[in-house]
Amino acid sequence: MTDQALAKSVMYDVQAAMGATFTSFWGWIWTESFGDALGEHRAIREGVGAVDVSSLIEWEWTGPDSLLAAQRLCTNDILGLSIGQIRYGPFLDADGKMIDDGTIWRLGDDRCWVMTNRWDLQEHFAEVTHGLDVTIKDVTLEMPLIQVQGPRSRELLSKLTSVDLASLKYFRFIPEQVEIGGVPVWIGRTGFTGELGFELFVSPADAPGLWSTVVEAGATPYGTAAANTQRIESGIVVYEEDYAPGALTPYDVSWDRLVALSRDFVGREALEGLADNPPRRMKTLKLEGEFVPEANATVLNGDTPVGTLTSPTFSPDFGVIGLAILEAEAAHEGKQLDVVAGDETRLRAAVHTLPIYDPDRKRPRM
């Protein structure tokens, strides 16, 4: 992957022919919608949808120290991964501040995948892996990604493969290629919607055909408009939307469960004094009315600023909601606060669970 303007997925043409509209950010052209964002949202929550996430940056780490190197990168317990297991977590600088987040997939004793939002991490990787025997290769353009998400995703994909998908557990993957729709893929049980779902990594030559096969089998194609509402409802944090690189610790976004202080990772010492009493927490805010304020709006308790609304949206099921980073004393569920709109209008808001949808996160584990 290189610093190119508006990189395009190999599935662009087949999606354009289906009526897709597109947007651009992070140097990529992303599919925005297929004309009915609300219908796409409903399909993911009630049935099954498919989305092109080829812009995910994918790195292959090989060598005898590959897993140890990945542990230095990520705050979660990477050394505890078994082959075929995935873990998610933030990546920190030496001050304990997040610079990115992603997943680690263990393929073998000397091989893993590292999935990131940023393509410009080579210098950080070099620092993290200094002195270790590991080789890092950007494989983004070799592995287009289709996510199939929703309560009927397993049912749909099972019609396209002989693989027993019912036995594939959450945050696990099959550590060798299998056939889906007649083409070889790597398949993992993960996603970005708060629902049961799967990720399919496929070759560039096979990706357009597999996309068509999945849609023809009954998956509703969707884009970033529906994906964004899904992830906010499900409390899923996004790089540069909910945190700027070098600004926040994992505790500021309530990622306590993703920090394994018993492991040796970059930034660990800076976090040790925060674990028992984090100064900030992330919660969902539910706002009164129908006006959606701008991102990064100030949150007030009376006249005192107590936080920031990072990701506002209109949810078909919950009304106007948003993720918010709040001072710990203001982050109690049921707490009444105000959000300041651009014209200084105050919008009444109440603190809710993170996530507001499926608070116990049971649905992805179905």
Indicate if 17 and 154 belong to the same structural domain: yes
Report whether pLDDT(65) > 70: yes
Q: How confident is the model over 273-290, as a mean pLDDT?
A: 95
Indicate if 27 and 148 belong to the same structural domain: yes
Position 3 scores a pLDDT of 45
Report whether pLDDT(342) > 90: no
Q: Which residues are CB-contacts of 174 (< 8 A; sequence separation ≥ 6)?
A: 84, 163, 168, 186, 187, 188
What is the b/e burial string over 340-355, where b = at least 16 CB atoms within 10 angstroms of the residue's CB? bbeeeeebebebbebb
What are the angstrom distances between the C-alpha of 84 and each of 172, 186, 197, 324? Answer: 6, 11, 16, 34
- Residue 238 resides in a domain: no
Position 6 scores a pLDDT of 84
Q: Which residues are CB-contacts of 210 (< 8 A; sequence separation ≥ 6)?
A: 146, 180, 181, 183, 185, 200, 202
Indicate if 149 and 50 belong to the same structural domain: yes
Report whether pLDDT(272) > 70: yes
- Residue 341 resides in a domain: yes
Indicate if 149 and 46 belong to the same structural domain: yes
Indicate if 190 and 319 belong to the same structural domain: no
Indicate if 217 and 357 belong to the same structural domain: no
pLDDT band at 1 (very low <50, low <70, confident <90, very high): very low
Query: Strand runs (DSSP E) across 48-95, as ranges?
Result: 49-52, 57-62, 86-92
Partners of 179 in beta bridges = 184
CA distance 364 to 361: 7
- Residue 223 resides in a domain: yes
Residue 312's CATH number: 2.40.30.110
Report whether pLDDT(359) > 50: yes
pLDDT band at 4 (very low <50, low <70, confident <90, very high): low
Both tokens of residue 16?
């354009």
Report whether pLDDT(267) > 70: yes
Indicate if 150 and 49 belong to the same structural domain: yes
Element (H, E) at 326: strand 319-327
Indicate if 47 and 158 belong to the same structural domain: yes
Position 358 scores a pLDDT of 98
The HSE-up count of residue 112 (CA atoms within 13 Å, CB side) is 27
Both tokens of residue 54?
């080829």
What are the angstrom distances between the C-alpha of 250 and each of 37, 241, 272, 283? Answer: 31, 15, 12, 14
Indicate if 167 and 225 belong to the same structural domain: yes
Position 324 scores a pLDDT of 98
- Residue 83 resides in a domain: no
Position 77 scores a pLDDT of 98
Indicate if 299 and 221 belong to the same structural domain: no
Indicate if 357 and 290 belong to the same structural domain: yes
- Residue 359 resides in a domain: yes
- Residue 242 resides in a domain: no
- Residue 109 resides in a domain: no
CA distance 67 to 104: 9
Indicate if 201 and 329 belong to the same structural domain: no
Partners of 102 in beta bridges = 89
Domain encompassing residue 196: 12-54+144-232
117-154: per-residue pLDDT in tens? 999 999 999 999 999 999 999 999 999 999 999 999 99
Percent of the chain with pLDDT strictly greater than 70: 99
Position 273 scores a pLDDT of 87
Phi and psi torsions of 309, nearest 5° = -85, 110
Residue 33's CATH number: 3.30.1360.120
Position 231 scores a pLDDT of 98
Report whether pLDDT(348) > 80: yes
Answer yes or no: are the C-beta atoms of 267 and 95 closer than 8 Å: yes
Position 207 scores a pLDDT of 98
Position 191 scores a pLDDT of 95
Position 26 scores a pLDDT of 77
* Closest alpha carbon to 324 in 358, 360, 298: 298
102-121: per-residue pLDDT in tens? 999 999 999 999 999 999 99
- Residue 3 resides in a domain: no
Question: Where does a domain end: 199, 232, 265?
Answer: 232
Name the domain count of the chain.
2
